[in-house]
Every structure is written in structure tokens, then in C-alpha cells.
Amino acid sequence: FRILQHFHTTAEDYTIIFTSGCTAALKLIAESFPWIPEGTKQPSSRFCYLTDSHTSVVGMRGITASMNVLSVPIEPKEILLAKSRLPAEEQNCTTPHLFSYPAQSNFSGTKYPLSWIQDIKSGKLCPIKIPGKWFVLLDAASYVSSSPLDLGVHQADFIPISFYKIFGFPTGLGALLVNNRIAPLLRKTYFGGGTAAAYLAGEDFYFPRKSIAERFEDGTVSFLDIIALKHGFDVLEKLTGGMEKIKQHTFALAHYTYTVLSNLKYANGAPVVRIYSDTDFSNPDVQGPIINFNVLDENGEVLGFSQVDSMASLHNIHVRTGCFCNTGACQMHLGISNEDIQKNLQAGHVCGDNIDLIDGRPTGSVRISFGYMSTFEDAQTFLNFIIATRLSKSDAGIPCQSVTEPMTESVPDDHLSFNSADKLSQMLQISDGELRNIPSEADTTGRWQPLEPEAESIRAAVSETAVPTCRKGGKPITIARIYLYPIKSCSAFEVTEWPVGNQGLLYDRNWMVVNQNGVCMTQKQEPRLCLVNPSIDLKHKIMVIQAEGMDPISVPLEDNTGKKAVICESKVCSHRVKTYDCGERIAGWLSTFLGRPCRLIRQSSDVESKSHQKNTKGLSSATNISLSLVNEAQYLLINVASIMQLKEHISARLKEPLEIEELIRRFRANIVINAPESFEEEEWVEISIGALQFQVVGPCSRCQIICIDQQSGERNKEILQSLSAARGRKTNFGIYLMNQPLHSSFSDTLSVGSQVLPVLKENTEIQPPTSREEKCSG
């Protein structure tokens, strides 16, 4: 009853069916709607959906197809032009059809008219011209998180909702609100516990419960979470004053952010972002508190969303990236064709990965959303992040001043209170007034034209430094340093000569630290891991671990797999690995030093982690390339000349320039080389070092770990920002290597001073990397 009250309706009009989430509610509709399939004497049903719909809505067509019911996608512009009534004789047809559309696009925040509900049900608006009776599914999951929905006025037939989108809790509970006029028509085949009034086990006899909710809620509902909902609604009302105030509050934040963001310009007049929206953010009835965009460089080229996400995380800002489970809207706003989607799949891009650019074109975008708990400082923090990372002080101009000084001074101490909504509104109106002198997006973009892309962005993966097409004499390339990292994400162990094993340098990343839930810990979560110093003593067959303020502790190198070790399965990025625990003694030592419960685990030698085939291109297909606990490849190589060039960029941005030694340690490479040319390593397809041959499998896309000083554990977000500025639209630095497995772990060694013989790519154009997760060496 409290839920129905929230949506301004009663049990006389609607029934609530609890589900595991909004997706489960949509699946229930597809399975139980009274479809009439093709091939019967009656006209068949149609399932129509707006292309700007969540994956879970589009996925309903899989069920309808199995029932021999046709699905018809409708573009938003088509439904706006579909205002034509059917002939009178066709209006009497009772064939049920279902039209689904979102009350608010989860991609752009566009609010579609709720008046469509009555217009479609009355026949005033027809999604497609076909005889029959239309029912409406209103996907309200995004809408109800920040806007009031009055089902007394807008009586859709089905309304799936997700409670955690309203409160942030609980995550495993949703509901389907069903209009009681259609509820008796719903069909159900499976019956679970609690749904039967009576049935026979020995005969085909089943009689359902009378209550629609009880009939469709199979098994035990999540009653403890359901109890929590009343408290959620009550607290929401008490804190905010209701959904209308939430609507005004969140829209004010979005309107302000949009106004500043859309007016940010580089010195050459080019916009800093491209916003994907169907509105001008002037009316909360047609626009929700969602801003979808891509960041551009000075030439109008899109920066990959993965890079923006990495930078945002350094500023403690959470954004969402990709296509947001809404491929239709993503295609519409980004201009991605059906053929592009299929080509991107062939190129290795799948939903949810970090492949953000293919042939220089974006595969997705960045989204920020405001909720009832969002504050004006949140909006300022985000805008200052964009300004700090994209604009120099001379570029920032008026928008930068508007975000910082005037706005901060005019914010009252109590502006966060929902009882002070009027003050917030006045404050934001003043803010907009201050911004009116900034040229509008329409005024500026009309006279600014992006530069022509350079040969399909062939150099997107490298710096602008000229790279020779072949090495003709000159200084030899040699190994300057060798590092291994016995414990993943802990300190480096530097050596001058070291054996090579089947998984890379012997004992490199054979161990890792996990939290009390068995999840791998890295410096992203615990920077103090870099202060844990492991070293390998091959003579005594032990690993010695040291840290300041702690007594040294040793771990045997001998594999304990056969000594009653419990083998468990762990995960490193996308790789599944078999591991075993190294015991209570070392677990206690690490827990004491890090100040949190954790354990040391080691990769089991009897099961090896197989790398992806794409990373072994060019290697023998009959050979299995195995990995230790690394993220991506067996080896990571960096070039001192490249470090030197990057140091010049960083020094210009930092008050205290970094030493070369510190920069080298931040990039956590296995092999550090001295080569004459900076970034020439990115032209190599393979290298030879003595008898060892290595395949180059791609560049290393850097993450925030390079921001951590490996001697102190302190963060400096300027490092990643400087790398981004120096390298253009990517944060690549260093190359990954794989080598053919050896018959013996000790059959060869790598030594400082050894000569490196590279083989250049036949075509000097640098191809975009195939693997796009952020893969730091850890």
C-alpha cells in the first residue's frame, strides 16, 4: 500500500508483483502477455518498442520470437508522426498488441510524453497501423528515481520499477505494477511454491491462487527487503519533502552543469565536450538529471571514455561509460550504423569493455547523473575536473571563474537542505545570469569547424614523435634494468641477471595479496602495498619479505601444492587462476602492516592460466602461452628515451620535477631498455634478446597506479594527467611481450647489458590496440 501511495494509486487499480529486479519484471511481461501468434485465424499480435530503450526491454523480443510473434522497433521520430486513427471497422478488433517506451531515457535523460499512454490506448496514436487493442508498457526505472509518477492520471498497463534506483537499496528487489484491467488476461505456465491454490502430483491438475500477486510470485519473496521499503519511502519523504522537490533539485543541478559544460571552449574556439541531448535543459518536464557527452581535444577528436573514466576516478568522481545498456540511443546520438556495430564486434569490442575508440571513432560515451543526495559541490567538483584536465589557465576564461570564485562565495551554508529549495533555486538562477555573457553553443559551434582527421587516426596509439621506418646502424639497443615483482602490486625486486621461466621471469607475480573475501588487492585500493618489499633468494630457496617497522619474514619457494594445500579459484582481470593459501603466519604479518585483514596466496603450479588467443598472434598455434598472476602479458617493456621525453612534459606541470629513477619505478616494467629514439618501441612487432624471441602484443594502457610514488605510497594525480596530455588521446606507455615457452625454467636468462634486436612492422602505421581494458602490470 505504501508503494501504491507513492505512485498516487490504490489497490483497486493496480497490483504489485515483487520481482528480483526491473529486468525480471520485463521478462515476466513477455512470458505472460496474451499474445496471438502468427498463423492463426485471428490477426496476430505485435510487440513494438522504442529504439531508445534499455537492453532488458529489447531483449523481450527473444521471448516473443519463440512464440511466433513479430517485434517492431519504432524510432522516437516515427511515433511523433504516427497520429492517425484506424478505420472504424478495424478499431473493433480485439487482438492484443504491446507498445513499450521509457518514461525517461537512461542514455540522455530525455523524458518522453506520458500523454502517449492514453493516446495509444484510446487509438488516437498508433505505433503501427494494424487492427487490434493496444496495451502500454511504461519502463519507469530511470524516471522514478528522480521524478514523481502519478498512475492515477497516467494509467499505463505495466510499470516495471527498480527500488535501488530510488533509494540505493535493496539491490535485488524490483516490482511490476500491473493494471487490474489487464491482470486477468495474463497467462502463466510454470507454477512455483506459494502460487497454487491446489494441484495434484500424480495428475495434470493445477488451480492457481486467486490473487494476481500470489499467482506470479514464485517461491519465497525477499520479505526482509520488502519490509525495508516502507522505511525507505518514509525516510525519502522526510529528508527531501517528496519527489517533486527531488525533481526540481536534481534538474537545477543538471541545468547548471549543462550550461557551464556546453560553453567550455579551447583557446581556438573548439568545444571541450560534445553533449548528446534532445533538449536544451530548459524544462524539467522534458529533461531528466542526466548529461551524456564525450570529451574532445582541441582538434575536435573524441577522447576515449576509458581515459576520461580513469581521470575522473583520480578526482574521486564516479561516472558511467559505454552505451549504458541502450544500444539504440547510442547509435542514434553517436551516429553508429548497424554495420559499425557488427564491425566493432569483429574488432573485439563487446558491451561493457573498455575499447572506447575504433578507427578514431567512439564506441560509447560518458554519463553523469544527479540524484536526491547530489549537492551543488558535486556539480562544481565535476566541472572543475573537466577544466583542470582539459584547459590551461589561459583557456579557462569566464566559465572557469563561474565555477570557482563567484559560485563558491554565493552558496549558503544551508543550501543542501531540501527545506531551502527556494534559496538553491535563486542561487542557481543567479549563476545562470552570470553565465549569460558566455557565447552559446549554437553561436560558437556554427563558426568553428573541426580539423580533418589525419589518415584515420593511424597514430592514435603513439606520440607525435617521428619514428624511423627501419634501424640503419646507430647505437645498439641494450637492456638497462630488469625488475620482477614476486608479489603482485608490491615493490619491485631489481636484478642484473635472472632466469626465464614458462610464464616470464622466474617467480614474477607468483603471489598476490587478497582481502578477507578472497578478492585480489592492488595499489588502487591499498597504495601501501608498494612498501612491501619481497626479494628472491634462489640459493636458499626462499622469498624474504620486508617492510618498515616489521621483522623480515620468509616464504618457501617450494610449491606446497602437494602438502595438503587447499586449491581455490581466483580471478585476475578476466583470467581464472588456481591458487593456494600461504598460511596464517604471513597472513598475520601482512594484516598487521596493512592494517586490514588480508592473506597471501600463490598460483598453483598444476594449472596454468591461458592467455587470450588475440594476445598470441604470430606465435605457434600449437603452443599454449601461460601467464602468472599478471593482468595482460608475460613481460612489460619500457624505454628510457621515452621516459626522458615524458619527464619534460611532467616537469613543466609539477613544482618539483621527478627523477628518472622514480618515473621508471612508477611504470613497473620488467625490462627497461636504452634505445636511441623515444617511443620507437611502439613500432616493433617482435624482438630478440640472445636466444629468446618475444612477440609484441600491444601497448600498455595506463591506469592510476602510475600516480603512486613507489617509495612512499603517496598519490599524485598529475602524473596520469601529464601522460594523457603528452600522448594525445590515449594513456599508452610501454609494450607488452610474450615469448615461446621453454622446455626448462632455467634454460635461459636475461641479463643487463644484453643487446635487443627489434623487428619493425612492415607498415609503420600504428594500429589501435586490440585489448582495451586498463591493464597495468600490477
DSSP codes of every residue in 488-538: TTS--EEESEEEEETTEETTTT-EEEEETTSPBP-TTT-GGGGG-EEEEET
Residue 622 pLDDT: 35
pLDDT for res 306? 92
Q: Is the peptide bond before 170 cis (omega within 30 degrees of 0)?
A: yes
| Model confidence at 368: pLDDT above 70 | yes
* For range 456-475, the mean pLDDT: 40
| Strands in 623-731 per DSSP E | 626-627, 635-639, 671-674, 684-689, 692-701
For the segment 684-690, the average pLDDT, to the nearest whole number, is: 91
Report d(CA 118, CA 628) in Å as an integer.
61
User: Does residue 33 have a pLDDT over 70?
Assistant: yes
Residues 6+ apart with CB under 8 A from 219: 192, 193, 194
Catalytic residue status for 351:
no
CA atoms of 324 and 532, how far apart (whole Å) = 39
Please list, in sequence order, all residues whose beta carbon lies within 8 angstroms of the beta carbon of residue 688, skipping any fewer than 6 positions away: 694, 756, 757, 759
Q: What is the distance between the alpha carbons of residues 728 and 493, in angstroms, rounded to a whole number?
A: 32
DSSP state of 143: G
Dihedral pair phi/psi, residue 636, rounded to 5° = -125, 130
pLDDT in tens, 405-419: 333 333 333 333 443
Q: What is the dihedral of CA 229, 233, 236, 242, to 10 degrees?
A: 160
CB 309 within 8 Å of CB 321: yes
The confidence score (pLDDT) of residue 20 equals 94
Question: In the structure, what pLDDT confidence band is assigned to residue 255 with cuts at 50, 70 and 90?
Answer: very high
Domain boundaries, the chain: 1-236, 244-390, 511-603, 633-760
Mean pLDDT of 115-128: 92
397: pLDDT strictly greater than 70: no
The per-residue pLDDT for range 488-538, each reduced to its tens digit, is: 999 999 999 999 988 889 999 999 999 988 888 999 889 999 999 999 999
CA dist list (Å): 731 to 96, 190, 395, 675? 54, 52, 22, 21
CA neighbours closer than 13 Å in the CB half-sphere of residue 31: 11
Rounded average pLDDT over 714-736: 84
Name which residue leads in pLDDT, 315 or 83: 315
Per DSSP, the residues of 326-363 read -HHHHHHHHT--HHHHHHHHHTT--TTSS--EETTEES
Judging by DSSP bridges, how do beta strands 320-322 and 290-295 pair with one another?
A: unpaired
Instruction: Give me the pLDDT at residue 641, please.
Output: 93
User: Rounded distance, CA 559 to CA 640, Å?
Assistant: 36
State the average pLDDT over residues 429-455.
Answer: 35
- At residue 651 the predicted structure's pLDDT band, cuts being 50, 70 and 90, is confident
Per-residue pLDDT for 759 more than 60?
A: yes
pLDDT band at 487 (very low <50, low <70, confident <90, very high): very high
Cell of 774: 586498463
Residue linked to cell 564506441 = 363
What is the per-residue pLDDT for 106? 97
Residue 134: what pLDDT? 95
End-to-end CA distance of the chain: 52
Strand partners, 692: 689
**How far is CA 112 from each of CA 77, 98, 108, 140, rounded to the nearest angstrom?**
11, 17, 11, 11
Question: Which pLDDT does position 395 carry in this prediction?
Answer: 55
Query: Of 205, 216, 58, 45, which is closest to residue 135 (Cα–Cα)?
Result: 45
Minimum mean pLDDT among 63-67, 581-585, 604-608, 766-770: which range? 766-770
Question: Does residue 730 have a pLDDT over 80?
Answer: no
What cell numbers appear for 656 in the block?
618539483
**DSSP state, residue 203:** T
Average pLDDT over residues 197-208: 94
Q: Which of 177-181, 351-355, 387-391, 572-576 has the lowest mean pLDDT?
A: 572-576
Cell numbers linked to 178: 500491473
- Classified as helix, coil or strand, 566 is coil
- C-alpha span between 233 and 300 (Å, rounded): 45
Quick check: helix, strand or coil at residue 20? coil
The top-level CATH class assigned to 244-390 is alpha beta
pLDDT tier at 472 (50, 70, 90 boundaries)?
Answer: low
The pLDDT, as a whole number, for residue 604 is: 81
Q: Which one of the listed residues 22, 325, 598, 707 is annotated catalytic?
A: 325
What pLDDT score does 574 carry?
57
Q: Whole-angstrom Cα distance, residue 544 to residue 535?
A: 5
Q: Per-residue pLDDT averaged across 19-27, rounded? A: 96
Residue 458 binned pLDDT confidence (cut-offs 50, 70, 90): very low
As a whole number of angstroms, the distance between CA 310 and CA 702 comes to: 9
C-alpha cell at 568: 581455490
Q: What is the DSSP-derived secondary structure letter of residue 44?
A: P
Tell whether the model's pLDDT for residue 445 goes beyond 50. Answer: no
Coarse DSSP helix, strand, coil percentages of the chain, rounded to the nearest 5 percent: 30, 25, 45
pLDDT at 616 over 50: no
Smallest CA-to-CA distance from 52 within 472, 450, 333 is with 333
Mean pLDDT of 722-736: 83
Q: Is the pLDDT of residue 654 over 80?
A: no
Sign of CA pseudo-dihedral 660, 666, 667, 671:
positive
Class of 1-236 in CATH: alpha beta
Overall average pLDDT of the 137-163 stretch: 97
What percent of the chain is predicted at pLDDT more than 90?
62
**Which of 138-152, 161-175, 346-360, 696-710 shows the highest mean pLDDT?**
138-152
pLDDT at res. 473: 56
What is the per-residue pLDDT for 54? 97
Q: Once rounded to an integer, what is the mean pLDDT over residues 731-756?
A: 79
Mean pLDDT over residues 20-26, rounded?
95
Residue type, position 535, single letter: S
- pLDDT exceeds 70 at position 695: yes
Confidence tier at 731 by pLDDT (50, 70, 90):
confident
pLDDT at 215 over 70: yes
- Give the contacts of 665 (CB within 8 A, at least 6 positions apart): 492, 710, 711
Q: What is the pLDDT of residue 632?
A: 75
For residues 363-388, average pLDDT: 96
Res 85: pLDDT: 63
Identify the three-state secondary structure at position 751: strand
Average pLDDT of the chain to the nearest whole number: 83
Provide the pLDDT for residue 747.
55
Of residues 438 and 758, the one with the higher pLDDT is: 758
Beta bridge partners of 627: 609
In the structure, what pLDDT confidence band is assigned to residue 474 with cuts at 50, 70 and 90? low
Give how far Cα 42 sits from Cα of 39, 173, 634, Å.
8, 38, 64
pLDDT of residue 470: 42
Q: Indicate if the pLDDT at residue 21 is higher than 50.
A: yes
Which one-letter amino acid corresponds to residue 70?
L
Beta bridge partners of 14: 179
